Amino acid sequence: MQPDEFRRIGHEVIDWIADYRERVADLPVRSRVEPGWVRERLAPLPERGEGFDGLLSDLDRVVLPGTTHWQHPGFYAYFPSNASLPSVLGDLLSSGLGVQGMLWSTSPAATEVEQHLLDELVGAMGLPERFRGGGVIQDTASSAALVALLAALHRQSGGTWRQSGVDGTETVYVSSQTHSSIERAARLAGLGERAVRSVDVDDVLAMRVDDLASRIESDVEAGRKPVLVCATVGTTGTGAVDPVREIAALCAEHGIWLHVDAAWAGPAALCPEFRHLFDGLDQADSFTANAHKWMLTAFDLSLFWTAHPDVLVDALTILPEYLRNTATESGAVVDYRDWQIPLGRRFRALKLWSVLRWYGLEGVRAHLRRHVELAEMLESWVAGSEEWRLVAPRSLALLTLAHRDGDDATREAMDRVNAAGDAFVTHTTVNGRFAIRVAIGAESTEEHHVRALWQALAASG
């Protein structure tokens, strides 16, 4: 494709995306296709290049019916994953530049824009100053958890982990509400599930510090080595917030790495009124917040900070001959290849930069606050309802609700709402009871959408 062809077809592609976003609210949120429906409609690969028209028409014919519309205003499932249009343009610019920023020297701007943004966000989000200079973009919070654990293993071993690996006595602490990515990180790090301790939670589903303390103490007495505690600000199920400051004190006492997972709630730190949720973060060793959840940035972009970039780099560094270069050897630059699992890396910072410059910090704060206000509105309706109740306190823009008639009624209501196509909600269980999660966070969700969701739920009663 020559640049002039790119220019012409590129306009068509941008038009296609703009048209899609204009009409996404009219499509059923969830794809309704049966398994195999999409593949049955795909042609064999062409021997000869065929241009772009066929692909664009297949997008309408096959891809759209097989797509669940995450940018739909009625998307309340899982956690919405904002892909604002400025971030789409930023992503396009990143692909257009086509750089691979594994080393500072493979594209200095890719590294330095990223460093600048992550340091600026330390100030904008009120994060601890000890994170300045320790920020990096990961693809996902799952990768962030894994690198945090590897750094923790390295530190706990006194630096021998790189050479000798684990010895089977290392332990990791989560709660029953912690995201499954921590357990997976433990498996990937070779610790096995048996190393993962599931700490009890209290009545608002936050980690119980007394139970954490007793589990750590009995492990220490048994000769095991506690390596990492993962505290969560905004759990996946109900948005519960673990008591980070108290957990941090225990971690400090035992020399344990504290990772704070705020994959969903993290962006809320941009708003001073929500910062109390992050109390104790100044004591954490690492922290993650997904810009691809609630910070208007197209998947994938997870923000990760550590107070110990030296430990992280020491744990992960590897320098084969072909990557040697004078900038690295000068010690004057950051090579982000040593801060992540893969070697290669995209210029992801461009899409975040596009978002932050288009909306400004105030624009992003307004986006967050609007969702919280909508959630407060829905909360007030639930509070006044004789049929529905909240099963956990509202957390920012996440509500967890159940029908008073029990699990079957809740499940039926969810199925009915989802089948109608105007909204999509998912579920969790709270103390063994089935509950609907309403995660308000799509960019285009307005009051009338939430009102319609509530009417649909209420009608199901």
Convert residues 347-366 into a mask of x (bound to ligand PLP by CB under 6 A) and - (unbound).
Answer: --------------------
- Which of these ranges, 83-91, 120-128, 261-269, 354-362, lies near ligand PLP under the rule CB under 6 A? 261-269
Strand partners for 259: 230, 286
Helix (H, G, I), strand (E, B) or coil at 182: helix
Any residues with CB less than 8 A from the CB of 87 and at least 6 apart, and which? 296, 297, 298, 351, 352, 354, 355
> 8-47: which residues touch ligand PLP (CB under 6 A)?
none
CA distance 430 to 55: 45
Residue 167 CB, shortest distance to ligand PLP, in Å, is 28
Residue 423 CB, shortest distance to ligand PLP, in Å, is 19
| 390 touching ligand PLP, by CB under 6 A | no
Q: How many residues bind ligand PLP (CB under 6 A)?
A: 14
Residue with tokens 């009890």: 200
- The answer to whether 452 touches 423, Cβ cutoff 8 Å, is yes
Residue 162 CB, shortest distance to ligand PLP, in Å, is 25
- Which of these ranges, 67-75, 259-267, 326-334, 434-442, lies near ligand PLP under the rule CB under 6 A? 259-267
| 263 touching ligand PLP, by CB under 6 A | yes
> 224-243: which residues touch ligand PLP (CB under 6 A)?
232, 235-236
Closest CA to 438 of 206, 174, 456, 420: 456
Pairing mode of beta strands 398-403, 388-390: antiparallel
The two three-digit tokens of residue 152, written as one number = 């923790």
Give the amino acid at 293: K
| 246 touching ligand PLP, by CB under 6 A | no
- Which of these ranges, 88-96, 118-126, 260-268, 417-425, lies near ligand PLP under the rule CB under 6 A? 260-268
Cβ proximity to ligand PLP, 157 vs 181, nearer residue: 181
Q: How far from 65 is each of 29, 55, 76, 378, CA to CA, in Å?
A: 10, 15, 19, 30
Give the other-Cβ count within 10 Å of 53's Cβ. Answer: 10
Any residues with CB less than 8 A from the CB of 450 and at least 6 apart, and which? 374, 377, 378, 440
Residue 62 CB, shortest distance to ligand PLP, in Å, is 26
Closest CA to 417 of 433, 393, 401, 394: 401
Closest CA to 233 of 196, 272, 269, 199: 269
Please give the full DSSP string across 24-73, using - where no structure is assigned.
GGGS-SS--PPTTHHHHTPPPPPSS---SHHHHHHIIIIITTT---TTST
Cβ proximity to ligand PLP, 264 vs 424, nearer residue: 264
| 181 touching ligand PLP, by CB under 6 A | yes
Give the other-Cβ count within 10 Å of 108's Cβ. Answer: 14
Cβ proximity to ligand PLP, 111 vs 181, nearer residue: 181
Cβ proximity to ligand PLP, 174 vs 413, nearer residue: 174
Cβ proximity to ligand PLP, 293 vs 403, nearer residue: 293
Cβ proximity to ligand PLP, 288 vs 328, nearer residue: 288
Strands (E), 276-431: 286-290, 302-306, 388-390, 398-403, 426-430
> 153-172: which residues touch ligand PLP (CB under 6 A)?
none
Residue 320 CB, shortest distance to ligand PLP, in Å, is 28
CA distance 281 to 286: 9
Residue 299 CB, shortest distance to ligand PLP, in Å, is 8
Cβ proximity to ligand PLP, 71 vs 142, nearer residue: 142
Residue 106 CB, shortest distance to ligand PLP, in Å, is 25
**Whole-number CA gyration radius for the chain:** 23
Residue 425 CB, shortest distance to ligand PLP, in Å, is 15
Q: How far is CA 152 from the centre of its chain?
A: 21
Convert residues 115-154 into a mask of x (bound to ligand PLP by CB under 6 A) and - (unbound).
Answer: -------------------------xxx------------
Among 75, 79, 257, 278, binds ligand PLP (CB under 6 A): 79
Cβ proximity to ligand PLP, 91 vs 261, nearer residue: 261
| 264 touching ligand PLP, by CB under 6 A | yes
- Which of these ranges, 158-166, 256-264, 274-282, 357-365, lies near ligand PLP under the rule CB under 6 A? 256-264
Residue 142 CB, shortest distance to ligand PLP, in Å, is 3
Give the amino acid at 39: R
- Interface residues with ligand PLP (CB under 6 A) are 79, 140-142, 179, 181, 232, 235-236, 261, 263-264, 290, 302
